[in-house]
Amino acid sequence: MKIYLIAPKNPESFWTFDRILPSLGKRCVFPNLALPTVAALTPPPHEVVLCDENVEPVDFDTDADIIGITGFVIHKRRMFEIAEAFRRRGKLVVAGGPFATLCPEELRGKVDVLIVGEAEHTWAQFVRDYEVGRWQSEYEQQEKPSLLDSPLPRFDLLKVDRYRSMAIQFGRGCPYSCEFCDIIVMYGRRPRTKSVPQVLAEVEAIHALGVSNIFVVDDNFIGNKKDAKALLAALAEWQEARGYPIEFMTEVSLNVAQDAELLRLLKQAHFVVIFVGIESPRAASLQETKKTQNMREDIVASVHRIQAAGIEVMAGMIVGFDNDDPAIFEEQFQFIQQARIPISMTGLLNAVPKTPLHARLKAAGRLIAESVGDQFVFTNIVPSGMSRLELYEGYRSLLHRLYDFGNYRRRAMALILNRGSLLGPRVLARRDDLAVVLRIFWTCILRASPRRAWLTLSMCLETACRRPRAIREAFTLALMHKHFHEYARDTSRQLEALIDELREAEPSSAA
C-alpha cells in the first residue's frame, strides 16, 4: 500500500515566525513530529509519503491508498477541508493527533477512521486490519503506552532543508495541574520518557542530516527530573566530543530556576533557549489556575537566574484570568521589561475543550463562540474581572507596548549584556551564519524603514563594542523583532474591529 500522511498548514501565530523565515532561507520553523513518528510506526513493506503543508502543497491527486491527517485544535478547519477533498475523490481518510484525541465527536462523520489517543500501538493495528479488509471506524489507546515502544522517527522522509529546526520528543505528561492546560488530559500527570540511548540515536540521526538546531517538543522537559538529568548528562558528553554542533531548545516549568544542577546540565548540553509558561506576575491569578510552581520565589529573580546560566527565556504569558482586572496589563508590561524577556508570547486566556477550565466555565455559562461568521474573537471566555471591551483594549495596548521598538530594544540589550556565558562556537562560526547575516542586513537595514534599520544597527553596534561574542544573538533578536512587531500590528488591526463592535454594544463602558 501507499500511505500519504499530511500535517495541515499552521495558522499564523507568535510561534510561526512567518515574516522572517525568508531571511533564514526556510519555510517553517520545525516539522510536526507526528509525521515521521507515524511513518516509523507503519509496518513494512508499505510506502509512506509525508506532506507538511507548511513547506509544500498537498497533492490531492496522489495515488495513495490511505490518507492520514494529523493536527491540533487550531488546525481543525483545514483538517475538515482536506478530509472532505480526499473523500470526494474516493480516498479512505484517517485522522489522529491532539484534535482527534480531544474532540473525536467533531471528526466523526467527516473522516473514515479515527485514531484517538497515542498511536504507538493503534496505528499499526489499523494498518494490519486494513490489509485484511476488516478495519474499524475508531481505534482508541486506553492505557498510556511506554515511550520505550516508540521507534526512531523517519526524519529522512522530511524535506529537512526547508525547516529551521528538527523536532524530537523525550517525554509525555506533566506532574502539574494547570487548569487551562490540555496536556494532562491527553498524556496524563505521570511523565513517561524515552531511554537515553533512544534519544541519542535521534540526535545522531538529525546531526547526520546536517541540522544544527533541535527543538525538544516536550510540554515539560523536566517533568521527570531524574530522567531529564540523566539525558542531559549524556547529551553534554555527546556535545563536548563533537564541538557542540547542536543548539537545543525546549519547554520547561519555572521551577528549573531552583535546581542549580539542572541549570548546569542544560548549559553543558547546549540548551540555549527555553520556553517557560510564566502566565502571570499576579499571585492570585497563578493560584486561580493552579500554577503554584511559579509561586516559589520572586519570578523576576527566577528568570534572571536562568539567564545567568547562559540560557535565554522565552515566556508564555496570559491575560484574562478571573483575578485579572484592568491593572494587569501594566503589571504584565513592567514584569516583562524587568525580567529582560525579549520574546513574550502574550495571549488571551482560552478554554480548550476537555480541560478543567472549559468544564468550569461551561457550567457557569461563560463560554462564547470561537468566531462570529469568519471573524475570530480571540477568546472564548466571558471575563470576570473586567468587561470584554476592557480586555480587548488592554490586550491591544499591551501588545503595542511590548513590541514597540524602544521597549523591545531595552529588553533585548539587557539580556545580551547580562546573559551568562555560552558553550561552543558563537561568533558567526556555523557554515550558514554568514548567509543569514547577509539576508538580515538586506531585510532589516537596506530594505527596512528607518526605525527598523536603527534598531538593527544600534543593537549590533552596541553588542560589538560591549560584548562581541554575543553578536550572533544581536542579529537574531533584531530579526525576530520584525516578526513580532508586524504580527502585533496586524493583530491590533483585527482587535480594532472587535473593539468597535463592543463600543457600540457597550457605550457606557466606552465612556
Higher pLDDT, 2 or 13: 2
> What tens digit of pLDDT does each residue of 42-68 get?
999 999 999 999 999 999 999 999 999
Bridge partners, residue 50, by sequence:
5
337: pLDDT strictly greater than 90:
yes
> Do 124 and 43 contact (CB within 8 A), yes or no?
yes
- Contacts of residue 400, defined as CB under 8 A and 6 or more positions apart, other chains included, come to 488, 492
Mean pLDDT of all residues belonging to the chain: 94
| Cα–Cα distance for residue pair 356/353, rounded to 1 Å | 9
pLDDT at 496: 92
| 429 pLDDT more than 60 | no
| Of 378 and 268, more confident | 268
Beta-carbon contacts of residue 470 (< 8 Å; ≥ 6 apart) = 416, 417, 419, 426, 463
| Domain ranges (residues) in the chain | 2-140, 154-326+342-366
d(CA 230, CA 210): 25
**DSSP labels for 63-108?**
--SEEEEE--GGGHHHHHHHHHHHHHTT-EEEEESHHHHH-HHHHB
Inform me whether the pLDDT recorded for 508 exceeds 80: no
In this structure, CATH architecture of domain 154-326+342-366: Alpha-Beta Barrel (3.20)
- The architecture that CATH gives domain 2-140 is 3-Layer(aba) Sandwich (3.40)
Band of pLDDT at residue 179, cut at 50, 70 and 90: very high
Instruction: Give me 435's grid cell.
Output: 548567509
What pLDDT score was predicted for residue 507?
Answer: 58
Confidence (pLDDT) at 270: 97
Q: What is the pLDDT of residues 399-427, one digit of tens each?
A: 999 999 999 999 999 999 999 998 876 66
Q: Give the residue-averaged pLDDT of 460-475.
A: 95
The span from the CA of 353 to the CA of 138, in Å, is: 20
| Residue 509 predicted with pLDDT over 60 | no
pLDDT above 60: residue 106: yes
Q: Can you tell me whether residue 176 is helix, strand or coil?
A: coil
Give the single-character DSSP code of 443. I
Region 126-143: what's the mean pLDDT? 96
By 3-state DSSP, what share of the chain in percent is helix, strand and coil, each rounded to 5?
50, 15, 35
- By CB atoms closer than 10 A (0-12, 13-18, 19+), residue 43 is exposed
Beta bridge partners of 5: 50, 68
Place 510 in a pLDDT band, splitting at 50, 70 and 90: very low
